[in-house]
Each structure stands twice: as structure tokens, then as C-alpha cells.
Amino acid sequence: MPTFSLPRPSFVRSALAFVSPNCRFPFGRPVTRRSLCSSACREFFATCSASGARFSPKQIPSRKTKFMCGIAGIISSSPLEADDRRAGQKMIQALRHRGPDGEGTTERSTNSAHLLLLHTRLAIIDLVTGQQPMSNEDATLWISFNGEIFNYRELRLFLEKKGHRFRTHSDTETILHLYEEEGIKGFLRLRGMFAFALWDEKQETLLLLRDTFGIKPLHYAVLSHRLLFASEAKALLLHPAVPREIDRQAFHDLLNLRFVPSPQTLWKHIRRVQPGELLLWKHGRLTRRECLTLPPFRPTHYSFSEAAQEFQSLFQKAVERHLVADVPVGVYLSGGTDSTAIALFSSSTPRPPEMAFTLGFGDERDEVEDARTIADRLGLRFLSTTLPPNSLSEYPDALRHVEEPQVNILQSFQIAAVASAHVKVVLSGLGGDELFGGYHSHRWMHYLSRFTPLSKHFEGTLARLRRLLSRSQSPFSPRGDLARRGCQLLLAAGRPEEAWGILRNVWDEDPAFRRLVYYEPDRFAPALRHLHQTFADRPPLEAAFDADFRFKLSDDYLAGEDRTSMAHGLEVRPPFLDLDLVAFVRTLPVEWHVSRGLGKSFLRRSLSRILPDATLRKPKWGFTFAVDLQWERSIRPYVQSRLIDEFLPLLEPVRPDYIRKILDLPPSRQYNWHRFFLWMLAGFVDWYRIFERE
């Protein structure tokens, strides 16, 4: 293994000072905030003095205006009606869980546009300034903002040198001045997690923008001469002009992918602003453009040691950025590589997290003790909870917030409820798998890319074998199902888009399975149609990384995490999605992440002198139910209670005989994805009962 030097800032040395000569992890004297942070604090204030900075308590442009929020609004080319104003008040109420500490409303009108701009806020600390919607000095710009801009201090200094004068210490005001100075291109400077609506009165234009990774949500609906937007779709449904028609194509995609890919939602007339997308409404017309893009793969010529050192330096900065808060901060901890790295690097900052939170499943995959060991070594207060046997009774409540049935939302909902009783901010390892190749699918895509040149010589043989297996094996035979999928994967060696779908258990590309599930197997467009551009003329492994980033991460994991945490007034921050860190990692050869048959190979090797061997070798369990273990205990009764005759027409065109067949199958892990399918159907029934009957 290549050797490398660790970064030298004193805040890193202070953390590593606890590493004894015989181990690679802090087993020495207990880590305390004073011993860990004193040198880092001295260095920080020494740097401030050297730069000539002088801060009084009222002058520090710090966390005095940090809050998470809900945003909403209505813009129309004709004067606002009474229904619009009534709906606006209802929209605010629907978003109060995102911002119970205050709300704001403003109306603006020009010759061609009439705007109602709404905001509701959750204070991360006690606020004096920064109320929203916020305007610039002459009230020609207005903004309703949800999120955090982590580099707003640097941007503020840059803008002050340009002559801008600030009235508050908020990151929100920084966006207004940045737009005044540089227009839309100024948004490229933003580092953070955000969604906002910005009204440019001089241009009579409304701008809607979402961050690069889609960490914060934003929905919209176009109704002839009106545009409605909100952090959550449920707020838009409160306007009487918004139809509640189900999008059946989105339903089909949900059953395949186990999430709805953006820009779709389960409502035909409600759409999502996509990650990094900019929407502009002007003179009654909506235009869309790509604004903030995922950093491209641009391999450079780093040696491994150079890359490891640069990664650690950037990761330390990313963790520090995400810890900025004047309230207690915690960390989600599983004992795996991602969360342990975050916990360790954050422990060497001036204000480290105080608590660690872990969710157990009460089965063989339980990670509570692994997490407890790490927390004890870092001196973190540790709190764990286990999903109770009747946990699915809370699934409808979680579903009400997430707005679509997803597999992992109950787990996120439960752990957020526990954490929110103690802290208002937690750090999460979300994004680590997508950035460093942590999924089994990444390794398989790597192997398939090597097999591709040979696959054309065997395509005819494999096709005949697949047809033979399709006829001779029952689709419900575990062996036959696996064999058929294995042949499909080999056949897809030259078609990486299809291979990614097979590895993600998308059944859409299997004609036999479509006929098994649907009355009308050719009714819907392929669920993977969104991936055509992602995979077109791309190296397969790079394309797979991008597919996970652009779709699975944003539309599944981040969407669920935001909704379940905000349901409890908790802000979740993912340091691995720091834009500068992501941009650097994507300059490394993508094969570094899947070498030696390991996922996250680069990350593990980079941290091999810091993290314990047990953590580095720990297999990936994932944050999801073991369906085979939980089926009889809780999932089967839940599914049976929902998939009753009353609701079978709602699930059209799914065959009822398929549902009955899966319910009768004997216990076997090989049937898990059939059972996930039923779980999605049952969740869809609950979704309908919540949103369509209310």
C-alpha cells in the first residue's frame, strides 16, 4: 500500500495526538472538548489577528441568522384572486413543520406579473435579523430561501470589497447582493444546500433554483397563467386549481425504482425542480435551464499519496463547514467507514459534535454495538434506538411527510425523532457511497466493462439460454429467477444502461416479468428512459456513478432524509456532498474506487492509518429493512391489510393473481424484491388514502 503524509494543520494533529504507537485510533486518554480544541481555537484567532480582523459580538457574521425553512409562492400574469390568497395562507400552514418559529408574506405587482411570496422558518439559533421574504435596499429584489450557504462569509467579504453594504449577518442577504453583482452566473459561487425563489422586479422575472445535488426540495405546478411553487407538494395541493390526478407513468417508475425520478411526482400536474436546475417565469412563460452541474470526471495525474493527503485536507474543511451552528450538533453513526470518518474528523474541530445517534433493527444486521464502540472512543454521548415490532404503524405518518412510498423512510423518521429531542443539527454520511463507489453495483459495472469486448461473441448463446430458462423455470423459483437475471446481466455487458437497471433490480427490461405483473405489459415507457443521456457514449463505470448521483441519491435518499428530518424540526447535513470535495474526488481515476474487489477502495486506503481495521473491513449492510427477516413479523400483516379488494382497482394494471402468489411464497431471501414490490403497492394505497381522500 502506498504511504502518504497526513495533512499538517494543527486541528488535524490535535485529533491524531490521541493515537497510541500501537494502534490507529484514539484509545488513549478520553477525548475532551478542551484538550481537542484548544490548539485549533488558538490557531483560528491567531489567523484572525494576523489578517487584521476584529470582531465584537455584534459584528461577527456568524450563525446569527441560520435557519431551515419552508418556501412557497404564487405568481400570475393577471391580478391575484381571493383563492390565491386563501391558498397562500393554507400553504404556509402546511409547511409549518419546516418552520414553526415564524412566517412571512409579501405581495409584489408589476404590469405583467403579480407575486405572492411566502416563507416559514425554523431557527437554528435565536434570531434578531434575517426575516424573510427578504429584499435588497430598494426593494427591487426579493428572496424566499431555504437552506444553508456554507461559504457566505467569504462571499460577503468579496461583495463588501465591491462596495456592497449589508444590513444583516444572514447568508440569505448574501445571495441578493451576489445576484446584484453578477446575475445568474453568481450562483456558481454558492456552496451549500439550498432551494430558493428570487424575484427580480426590474426584469419582471421569478427565478427558482435548487442546489447541485438536490439536498433541499422544491416543487411547482403550472396552471395556464399561474405558477405555484413550494418546498413540498402537499402545499400545492391546497390550491383549488391544482388537479389531483395520479401520474400512472410515475407509479410504474416507482414500482421499478422504488422512488419516483424527477421531475415527476405521483401527481400528474406537480413537478420537481431538478438538482441544479434553474426555472425562470417571465411574462407568463416558464423556461428551464441547467445552472449548477455535477462536477465532471476529469482524471488528473495525482499519485495516490498526493490524492490521499488532498482528500483529507478537503474533507476536514467540508466537515468544518457543515458544523457551523450555535446550537448543539450531533452525528448519525453506524460504525461504518463513512459515519466513523465524519465523527473522527469532526472531533478535531473547535466545536465538535456532542452526541451520536444510531438506529438498530433488532436482527442479525444490527450495528448498535459497533457504533457504541466508536462513540466511546471519541467521547461522544451515545443514544441508540431499535425499530419496535409494530414500527410499521408509524409508516403512514412518515409517508405523509415524504409524499411517496419509499423503503427507507420509516428508519429515517424514527432516528430523526430521537435525535431532534437533543439537537437541531446532525451530520450524516449520505453521499459517501455515490462518491466513493460503495455499492455492489459499482463493482459489477467495473467487471462488466472489462467483459464488454468479449460479450458480442457470446450474445447468441446467452440469448438462447435466457429463452430456455424463461420457459423452463418458474418466475417464482429462486434459482430460475437468479439464473435468468444473471444471463440478462451478461447480455447487458455492451449496454451499461440496462446493466445498471438490472443491478438495481429494475424488472422493466424483463418481458417475462412485465407479463407476469401487468395486464398491459406494453402500456408504459421504460423506467430507465431518464438514463439515456447519462449513459450515452460514456465509460460504463462513470455513467453508473452519475446515475446514482443524479437519480437514486437525489430522488430517493436525500428526498426522504429531508422530509423525515424536517418533520421533527431537525436539520441533516451531509459533508460528503461538499461541492469542492466532490469536484476533487471526481478528478481521480474512477477505477481507484473499486480496485481489489472492494467498494470505496480509495476512501478505505486513504484512511487506513486513521480508522481501525474493524471499521475498514466492516461489510456494508445498508440502512434498510431485511425483508426476509421482517416479513412475517411486521411487513406481511401490513401488506395484507392494505392490498384488499377495495383498493385493487387503484393498483391497475397490476395483476391481483401476482399479488396473491407473492403473499403465498415460502420464506426465502431470494424473494426479497418481489416483497419489496408488494411493499410499494401497500405504501401506494396508504399514499392514496392520505392525499386523495383528504
pLDDT tens across 166-210, in order? 998 889 999 999 999 999 999 999 999 999 999 999 999 999 999
pLDDT tens across 155-168, in order? 999 999 999 999 98
Residue 3, helix vs strand vs coil? coil
| CA atoms of 395 and 406, how far apart (whole Å) | 10
Question: pLDDT band at residue 13, thresholds of 50, 70 and 90?
Answer: very low
Long-range contacts of 544-547 (CB under 8 A, 24+ apart): 544/441, 544/442, 544/445, 544/496, 544/500, 545/297, 545/434, 545/437, 545/442, 545/590, 546/294, 547/500
Write down the pLDDT at residue 538: 85
| CA atoms of 433 and 448, how far apart (whole Å) | 19
Averaged confidence pLDDT in the chain: 84
Is residue 249 scored above 70 in pLDDT? yes
CA atoms within 13 A on the CB side of 677: 26
Is residue 9 scored above 60 in pLDDT? no
- Poorest-pLDDT segment among 54-63, 85-94, 325-334: 54-63
Write down the pLDDT at residue 130: 58
In this structure, the number of other CB atoms found within 10 A of the CB of residue 302 comes to 17
Mean pLDDT of the 386-410 span: 88
Q: Using an 8 Å Cβ cutoff, are 383 and 357 in contact? A: yes
Say whether 64-290 and 10-39+299-387+401-437+549-617 share the same fold: no
> What secondary structure, in 3-state letters, does 389-410 show?
CCHHHHHHHHHHHHCCCCCCHH
Is residue 456 scored above 70 in pLDDT? no
- Work out the angle between the directed axes of helices 248-257 and 672-691 (0-180°, nearest 10): 140
Q: Using an 8 Å Cβ cutoff, are 333 and 375 in contact? A: yes
Q: Using an 8 Å Cβ cutoff, are 315 and 606 in contact? A: no
The fold adopted by the segment(s) 64-290 is: Glutamine Phosphoribosylpyrophosphate, subunit 1, domain 1 (3.60.20)
Is residue 77 scored above 50 in pLDDT? yes
pLDDT tens across 87-138, in order? 999 999 999 988 777 789 999 999 999 999 999 986 654 345 558 999 999 9
Q: Span 10-39+299-387+401-437+549-617: which CATH code?
A: 3.40.50.620
| CA atoms of 31 and 37, how far apart (whole Å) | 10
| CA atoms of 558 and 333, how far apart (whole Å) | 17
> What φ, ψ does residue 73 adopt, rounded to 5°?
175, 170
In the chain, what are the domain boundaries? Answer: 10-39+299-387+401-437+549-617, 64-290, 440-547, 627-691
Write down the pLDDT at residue 224: 86
pLDDT tens across 631-668, in order? 877 888 899 999 998 899 999 899 999 999 889 888 77
Q: Using an 8 Å Cβ cutoff, are 212 and 294 in contact? A: yes
Of 549, 554, 444, 557, the residue nearest 502 (C-alpha):
444
Question: Looking at per-residue confidence, does 681 or 621 come out higher?
Answer: 681
Question: pLDDT band at residue 533, thresholds of 50, 70 and 90?
Answer: confident
| CA atoms of 333 and 358, how far apart (whole Å) | 6
pLDDT tens across 520-531, in order? 888 888 888 888
| CA atoms of 138 and 117, how far apart (whole Å) | 17
Most confident among 52-61, 96-105, 324-333, 373-382 (mean pLDDT):
373-382
Write down the pLDDT at residue 400: 95
| CA atoms of 504 and 441, how far apart (whole Å) | 7
